[in-house]
Amino acid sequence: MPTPVIHPADEAAVESISRGTHGDPFAILGPHVINSNGRAFLRIRTMQPGAARVDLLRAGSPDAPRAFSRRSAEGLFEIDLDTIERVDYRLRVTFGDGQTREIDDPYRYGPVLGDVDLHLFNEGTHRLAYEKLGAHLWSVGPAHGVLFAVWAPSAQRVSVVGDFNHWDGRAHPMRVRIPAGIWEVFVPDLGEGTRYKYEIRTASGDVFLKADPYATYFEIPPDSASIVWNTGKHQWTDETWMRTRPGFDSWLERPMSVYEVHLGSWARVPDEGHRFLTYRELADRLVPYVKHMGYTHIELLPVMEHPYLGSWGYQVIGFFAPSSRYGTPEDFKAFVDACHAADIGVILDWVPGHFPKDAHGLARFDGSALYEHADPREGEHRDWGTLVFNYGRHEVRSFLLSNALYWLHEYHIDGLRVDAVASMLYRDYSRQQGEWVPNVFGGRENIEAIDFLHQLNILTHGEAPGSITAAEESTAWPAVSRPTHLGGLGFTYKWNMGWMHDILEYIRQDAVHRRWAHSHLTFSMLYAYHENFILPFSHDEVVHGKGAMLNKIPGDIWRKCATLRALYGFMFGHPGKKLMFMGCEFGQWREWDYDGSLEWHLLDHEPHAGIQRLVRDLNSLYRRERSLHELDLVPAGFRWIDCNDNENSVVSFIRCSRDPRDFLVFVLNFTPVPRQHYRVGVPEGGWYEELLNSDAHIYGGSNTGNAGGVSSALVEAHGLPHSIDLTLPPLSCLVLKWRG
């Protein structure tokens, strides 16, 4: 066939596509009807860098393969067919080394994403954006392959690259959907396990590689390619849990004791190079341990893929991908399944407040400030070296909100703990004068972030009934855990950072000086019901020179352990849900090391084994006694007996359920002095059983106590008609229950 006439505009397009600078590859590549000199015919072009020859194979045709003509040295080939009808064909590509590969041509397929999806994404209301963007195993008619889609509105050209095209951006440039700014391409014959990235050419001509923001699986760091993965392979067995979860809206009245875990350092495998435990090994070891200890939930430091282990997971690259350090997505689903089989809820730390500047991540994704603000006064956290999401941009909201639902729906996660909420709420967070931009009203509040948090909580509570959200919010922002229709942010819970700081400051005092710090023990009850609080002893309190829990306490090892046991007794008696970081439950000596393992060998020593037994028994008591959780978040559930005995560093209080005759009495002595005949007022006469004594021998204590209980006397004390005469052990917590 004679070579068709080449027009100058055609030559420019050929050069542009060959160089990888053309922004509309589907206008050049694939089949096109050409009208030239009164003749209509079909022209097929394909870009095959490194190919020596390309042949056309007609499906169902007895015709011999026909060779393409080379149009450019870079690898653009074309062929003309005497037809204008649709042709079913494949390409046989022969490379310079003689290797041959038969492929389906991606450029003979039309657009895949629908206009409604594009509109919702641009509107910021696409709740399931993860089902459309990213890399998905896909079928178009009989063809099977992968649909790639990525948002990059400022890019001049976007290509998907990987092993399948020798990481050459000229081979698979994508189609841009205007005005959505989403680039897509369906690549037939690709399957699960395909490694890929996006090669982006910016408007200024810079070219770089980016990981897929919606990727569901990644290479093990430090490698950073995204991986095509079928995340639907796991067969869930938690139907009962998921069916009953909507009824968990009553969590406010249910026991909730959370074990906070960093999966990479809970335990390692020393015999195999100190490697991580896998998700499935953690299901076999961590889940039974948490069950044995009596916790109701596991909270995981971020499991989303992150390049730097030292960020503890808080600098996320792959928001939709569980870290490959511990296994595959289906392995992580198996872990969650095992938790639910053990009646343990799973909470994920979630980080919508910032993201890292790694070159392959979200930072200046298409050469512009896409996910972040362009102005560093709005878009950068200098303390952390990270960037701030632009919450006012609709597409960013689609990304983040759909990500929240992704974990709740696809991985059956039961709650999200939102990190660093304070940094989201305030435009001047950790910034000096002149380093921040006021809002439209001249204030310091981040209105767009507030609106985003409203949407997040309305959406997650509505779309995943029974799930919870918890805010790490360290300021006095009002109504964090109040419904949005009442003017709140809408979180289920807020971490009680004030209580945590006060009580840790209190136990740091030498016992003889605690009388002067007594308000640290009692002040929290002045605001205990302003929010739905979780009482946290989290990872942040045992790193960066703050010391492990035991090392915060002065004195010899006996005093340290006894004080820690009393502190934990106070925590479980105080109103609020409970959270304890791994290692705190047995009194680890050293600070948490993200790159090591907990000091499990300490359990060979009775002081540490005793602390662990106490925590287990406190969890059991907390779950068993309705008075410790039924009215946990309303004033009717708590009453001071005496909060003013600072001279003896003793406090006493009552916890009760809806039944006024179902109550517990807590008495705590924070000095090493045993106190005989210490009288405490009680509301009812009768026998008071000593349910728990933190000084018991089984916990490592001196075994001072009340021989199992005491009878009350009709002697008024503390404004109550009856009283009990107690022996208070040194540095102890007593829990007594009225038995009538």
- What HEC string does 426-484 produce? ECCCCCCCCCCCCCCCCCCECHHHHHHHHHHHHHHHHHCCCCEEEECCCCCCCCCCCCH
pLDDT tens per residue across span 370-404: 999 999 998 899 889 999 999 999 999 999 999 99
List Cβ neighbours of 535 (8 Å cut-off, separation of 6 or more). 496, 499, 500, 571, 574, 576, 577, 578, 579
Predicted pLDDT at 248: 67
* Rounded-to-integer distance, Cα 350 and Cα 419, Å: 6
Q: Which two tokens stand for residue 94?
A: 């022969």
Predicted pLDDT at 127: 92
Give the range with max mean pLDDT: 31-35, 427-431, 493-497: 493-497
Whether the Cβ atoms of residue 181 and residue 153 lie closer than 8 Å to each other: yes
Q: Is pLDDT at 6 greater than 70 in this prediction?
A: no
Average pLDDT, the chain: 95
263 and 188, same structural domain?
A: no
Q: Which two tokens stand for residue 613?
A: 């037994």
Task: From residue 112, give the alpha-carbon distance in Å to each of 106, 284, 592.
Answer: 12, 42, 49
Strand (E) positions, 125-190?
A: 134-140, 143-151, 155-162, 175-177, 182-188
Predicted pLDDT at 329: 98
Residue 103 CB: number of other CB atoms within 10 A? Answer: 18
Task: From residue 21, give the alpha-carbon distance in Å to each of 16, 200, 380.
Answer: 5, 10, 31
Predicted pLDDT at 4: 41
Query: End of a domain among 210, 227, 244?
Result: 227
CA dihedral 127, 128, 130, 136 (to 10 degrees): -170
Instruction: List the domain range (segments joined by +) for residue 646.
Output: 496-532+548-740
Question: Which residues partner with 418 through β-bridges?
Answer: 350, 471
380 and 480, same structural domain?
A: yes
Q: Which two tokens stand for residue 109?
A: 């397929």
Maximum C-alpha span of the chain:
115
Predicted pLDDT at 665: 98
Residue position matching structure tokens 């680890």: 588
603 and 501, same structural domain?
A: yes
Whether the Cβ atoms of residue 582 and residue 598 lie closer than 8 Å to each other: yes
The reply to whether 239 falls in a domain is no
Q: Which of 85-89, 417-421, 527-531, 733-737 has the lowest mean pLDDT?
A: 85-89
Predicted pLDDT at 86: 86
Predicted pLDDT at 8: 47
Predicted pLDDT at 514: 97
173 and 271, same structural domain?
A: no
The angle, 0 to 180 degrees and rounded to 10, between the axes of the packed helices 115-123 and 394-410 is: 110
Q: Which two tokens stand for residue 114?
A: 């629908």
Domain of 637, CATH number, reads 2.60.40.1180
Q: Mean of the pLDDT values across residues 677-697? A: 97
Residue 519 CB: number of other CB atoms within 10 A? Answer: 13
Domain of 98, CATH number, reads 2.60.40.10
The reply to whether 374 falls in a domain is yes
Query: End of a domain among 209, 227, 245?
Result: 227
Cα-based angle 287, 288, 293 (whole degrees, multiple of 5): 100
Q: Is pLDDT at 711 greater than 70 in this prediction?
A: yes
The reply to whether 373 falls in a domain is yes
> Percent of the chain at pLDDT above 70?
98
pLDDT tens per residue across span 642-665: 999 999 999 999 999 999 899 999
83 and 149, same structural domain?
A: no
730 and 706, same structural domain?
A: yes
385 and 350, same structural domain?
A: yes
- 454: closest CA among 482, 426, 413, 415? 482
Predicted pLDDT at 59: 82
Q: Mean of the pLDDT values across residues 401-426? A: 97
Q: Mean of the pLDDT values across residues 664-678? A: 97
Residue 247 CB: number of other CB atoms within 10 A? Answer: 11
Predicted pLDDT at 2: 35
Q: Is pLDDT at 364 greater than 70 in this prediction?
A: yes
Residue type, 339: C
Whether the Cβ atoms of residue 480 and residue 426 lie closer than 8 Å to each other: no
The reply to whether 265 falls in a domain is yes
87 and 200, same structural domain?
A: no
717: phi then psi, degrees, rounded to nearest 5: -155, 140
pLDDT tens per residue across span 57-82: 998 777 789 999 999 999 999 999 99
73 and 48, same structural domain?
A: yes
483 and 617, same structural domain?
A: no
pLDDT tens per residue across span 580-611: 999 999 999 999 999 999 999 999 999 999 99
Predicted pLDDT at 249: 61
Predicted pLDDT at 247: 79
Whether the Cβ atoms of residue 296 and residue 629 lie closer than 8 Å to each other: no
The reply to whether 278 falls in a domain is yes
The reply to whether 209 falls in a domain is yes
Domain of 266, CATH number, reads 3.20.20.80
65 and 146, same structural domain?
A: no
| 1 pLDDT tier (thresholds 50, 70, 90) | very low
Q: What is the number of domains present in the chain?
A: 4
| 669 pLDDT tier (thresholds 50, 70, 90) | very high
500: phi then psi, degrees, rounded to nearest 5: -60, -45
Query: End of a domain among 227, 243, 273?
Result: 227
pLDDT tens per residue across span 80-129: 999 888 889 999 999 988 899 999 999 999 999 999 999 999 999 999 99
The reply to whether 706 falls in a domain is yes
The reply to whether 248 falls in a domain is no
Strands 386-387 and 380-381: antiparallel
Predicted pLDDT at 283: 98
Q: Which residues are catalytic?
A: 419, 472
For the sheet with 182-188, list strands across it. 134-140, 143-151, 182-188, 175-177
Question: Which residues partner with 257 through β-bridges?
Answer: 578
700 and 580, same structural domain?
A: yes
The number of residues in the chain equals 740
Quote the pTM value. 0.94
pLDDT tens per residue across span 180-208: 999 999 999 999 999 999 999 999 999 99
